[in-house]
A and B are shown apart, each in its own frame.
Chain A
């Protein structure tokens, strides 16, 4: 089994969308699509599962809220309950309004930063990562669809040419 793939290049996102739909109808497996900008509806056309990053962010936010609450309660109420300008420090609820700005910011801070880090980890992005770009033109003005080949090279090539591709090439993947 060779690990060959076909790279079909398009120069219009509408043509690309149609090609993706046709390819999926013909039950060819799309490995990846490279585009220079977000194409609306491409994930739906490819049948990708919806992201769960919002759920992560919500849970991170709850973590931040808990952290802020715990921190203020420990420092201001449990550890050293001083009388600072007459603020009641006998219980957390009595002095809660003054902790709310901190609780809010901790919630946003945890939700935002942990979500971004989650995104980087799940997309495998980091500063010295080698770019995985199959064709330099895909960051500028071309769209590339990568389709797996299973002993049907000729058939797949002619099929992709019919979908409006400006260039179709067979590539050996290492």
Chain B
């Protein structure tokens, strides 16, 4: 039996209190009207962003010019024979160039007043826009963290179901750990659902398609209204979360009955339930990613988005299994877990990290290559305004694990697995941050008090729920027919 150490319990409570205070601070300091936004913009925060963005754009343009002059030189050399026609063209060009400025100044004078007026309206519109983004910021911070931790739990659940359906011989000693990690799914899903309901009730502006004013002027969203409408959205969410929670509670109950009775029918029930869950999960997960993540950008779509989101939280889930197991092992609770179990988990961390990268790159490269304006704005905005998090997460989720976890010996060293695991988790938090923030907060993003507090709050809650469940049952599932194989698993 595991006992929830008071140290860890206090830590989780401290994290929750600190996080809650920080979340409250985030909501409290969010601007309440446009005047406050004016003050923020005047202090130079926004201008800095804009300046750096324009610098980015200026660089390639300059290079292009240089290139163009080179080409002009070459073609001039080739075109000696046609000198006459060239000079003629140049003369004509001169005439046109002289003519246009005069024309322009004339018009500019007459329309000068109007231009000033437009600039003022534009500024007001800009302030209004920034105001909405800054108001969204504490909500987005809360939403990303809530979603991230719930999806970690869901990733563990998917892994658990796969272990059952595949009748894996190595993992049964870890089943209690996985069941404890999935216990967070119940409170986690409820919190996310409440946030979705609050969005539907217009407490925030995370989902732009929920705003009837926006939809009125947006034919693209109108066309999607058959799918993207609030009642259907909430019903879908309830069905998905209900299905996941039902599977989790059902298998947990059967697993405990299996321990008590040693009756193999419970094992068979779990096997069948897992196979059915996996089919349900693949459909619901895909639709969940359209609903809760992709729909913050209702003008954009990507076909492999569901798998991409899946890979992101699946690898996070496996990483959390590895970290929890390492922690429990270090406290001496898991006598039957050996290096080979860690080796297997680390292999999964490595493999699914590469899988995530494959999907990330496939999504990015296909859109970058075709460069269709309606698709590519998604990445253009991220590269311009989220450059470091966008490419930083590729380094954290791909380059780092591939270099560290490729070595067989390293995959058995606890501190190396822990280090790689923490980097992977931070990287995938950034991944979700990059999915939600650009559409809701835009270039006003920052990883500050709101974001870190939200992470701390949900981390505390996660630890509290998981370790409370862990303390309820013995850590070794005795009744599982594969448990002996799992105890002696050796790679």
Interface check B364, CB cutoff 8 A: yes
Interface check A75, CB cutoff 8 A: no
A97-B63 in contact (CB<8A): no
A97-B67 in contact (CB<8A): no
Interface check B108, CB cutoff 8 A: no
Known: A88-B60, A90-B60, A90-B67. A98 touches B369 (CB 8 A): yes
Q: Which residues of A contact B364 (CB under 8 A)?
A: 97
A54 to B409, CA, bound (A): 12
User: Nearest residue in A to B64 (C-beta to C-beta)?
Assistant: A90
Interface check A38, CB cutoff 8 A: no
With beta carbons under 8 angstroms apart, the residue of B63, B365, B371 that contacts A90 is B63
Least CB distance, B102 to chain A, in whole angstroms: 35
Known: A90-B63, A90-B67, A94-B60. A58 touches B406 (CB 8 A): yes
With beta carbons under 8 angstroms apart, the residue of A54, A86, A91, A100 that contacts B408 is A54
- Enumerate B369-384 residues with CB–CB distance to A below 8 Å: 369, 371
Interface centre among A88, A91, A97, A100 (most CB of B within 10 A): A97
Q: Mark B344-380, 1 if CB is under 8 A from A, else 0.
A: 0000000000000000010011001101000000000
A54 to B411, CA, bound (A): 15
- Enumerate B29-67 residues with CB–CB distance to A below 8 Å: 60, 63-64, 67
With beta carbons under 8 angstroms apart, the residue of B64, B368, B406, B408 that contacts A97 is B368
B365-A97 in contact (CB<8A): yes
- Enumerate B403-450 residues with CB–CB distance to A below 8 Å: 406, 408
A15 to B277, CA, bound (A): 46
- Enumerate A61-114 residues with CB–CB distance to B below 8 Å: 86, 88, 90-91, 94, 97-98, 100
User: Nearest residue in A to B408 (C-beta to C-beta)?
Assistant: A54
Question: How many of B's residues come within 8 Å of A, CB to CB?
Answer: 12
- Enumerate A96-145 residues with CB–CB distance to B below 8 Å: 97-98, 100
- Enumerate A138-169 residues with CB–CB distance to B below 8 Å: none
Known: A88-B60, A90-B63, A90-B64. A100 touches B365 (CB 8 A): yes
A133 to B67, CA, bound (A): 67
A146 to B54, CA, bound (A): 76
B361-A100 in contact (CB<8A): yes
User: Nearest residue in B to A41 (C-beta to C-beta)?
Assistant: B490
User: Nearest residue in A to B364 (C-beta to C-beta)?
Assistant: A97
Q: Which residues of A contact B63 (CB under 8 A)?
A: 90-91
A100 to B358, CA, bound (A): 11
Q: Which residues of A contact B361 (CB under 8 A)?
A: 97, 100
Least CB distance, A45 to chain B, in whole angstroms: 15
Least CB distance, A115 to chain B, in whole angstroms: 14
A90 to B64, CA, bound (A): 8
A100 to B64, CA, bound (A): 24
A48 to B236, CA, bound (A): 59
A88 to B406, CA, bound (A): 34
A58 to B403, CA, bound (A): 10
Q: Which residues of A contact B365 (CB under 8 A)?
A: 97-98, 100
Q: Mark B71-106, 1 if CB is under 8 A from A, else 0.
A: 000000000000000000000000000000000000
A97 to B368, CA, bound (A): 8
Q: Which residues of A contact B371 (CB under 8 A)?
A: 86
User: Nearest residue in A to B366 (C-beta to C-beta)?
Assistant: A97
Q: Which residues of B contact A97 (CB under 8 A)?
A: 361, 364-365, 368-369
Q: Which residues of A contact B64 (CB under 8 A)?
A: 90
A86 to B406, CA, bound (A): 38
Q: Which residues of B contact A100 (CB under 8 A)?
A: 361, 365
A100 to B368, CA, bound (A): 13
A90 to B68, CA, bound (A): 11
Q: Mark B459-486, 1 if CB is under 8 A from A, else 0.
A: 0000000000000000000000000000
User: Nearest residue in B to A88 (C-beta to C-beta)?
Assistant: B60
User: Nearest residue in B to A101 (C-beta to C-beta)?
Assistant: B365
Q: Which residues of A contact B408 (CB under 8 A)?
A: 54
A90 to B70, CA, bound (A): 13
Q: Which residues of B contact A98 (CB under 8 A)?
A: 365, 369
A100 to B365, CA, bound (A): 9
Q: Which residues of B contact A90 (CB under 8 A)?
A: 60, 63-64, 67
A97 to B361, CA, bound (A): 8
- Enumerate B115-168 residues with CB–CB distance to A below 8 Å: none
Least CB distance, A174 to chain B, in whole angstroms: 40
Least CB distance, B65 to chain A, in whole angstroms: 11
A88 to B63, CA, bound (A): 11
Least CB distance, A39 to chain B, in whole angstroms: 16
A98 to B364, CA, bound (A): 11
A97 to B60, CA, bound (A): 17
A34 to B350, CA, bound (A): 36
A54 to B64, CA, bound (A): 45
A86 to B60, CA, bound (A): 14
A88 to B64, CA, bound (A): 9
Q: Which residues of A contact B368 (CB under 8 A)?
A: 97
Least CB distance, A58 to chain B, in whole angstroms: 7
Q: Which residues of B contact A54 (CB under 8 A)?
A: 408
Q: Which residues of B contact A94 (CB under 8 A)?
A: 60
Least CB distance, A98 to chain B, in whole angstroms: 6
- Enumerate B387-408 residues with CB–CB distance to A below 8 Å: 406, 408
A94 to B67, CA, bound (A): 15
A86 to B373, CA, bound (A): 14
A-B contact pairs, 11 of them (CB 8 A): A54-B408, A88-B60, A90-B60, A90-B63, A90-B64, A90-B67, A91-B63, A97-B361, A97-B364, A98-B365, A100-B365
What are the nearest 10 A-B pairs in CB distance? A97-B365, A90-B63, A97-B368, A98-B369, A90-B67, A100-B361, A97-B369, A100-B365, A97-B364, A58-B406
Q: A97-B361, A97-B369 are in contact. List 10 more A-B contacts (CB 8 A).
A: A58-B406, A88-B60, A90-B63, A90-B67, A91-B63, A94-B60, A97-B364, A97-B368, A98-B365, A100-B361
B residues at A contact (CB < 8 Å) = 60, 63-64, 67, 361, 364-365, 368-369, 371, 406, 408
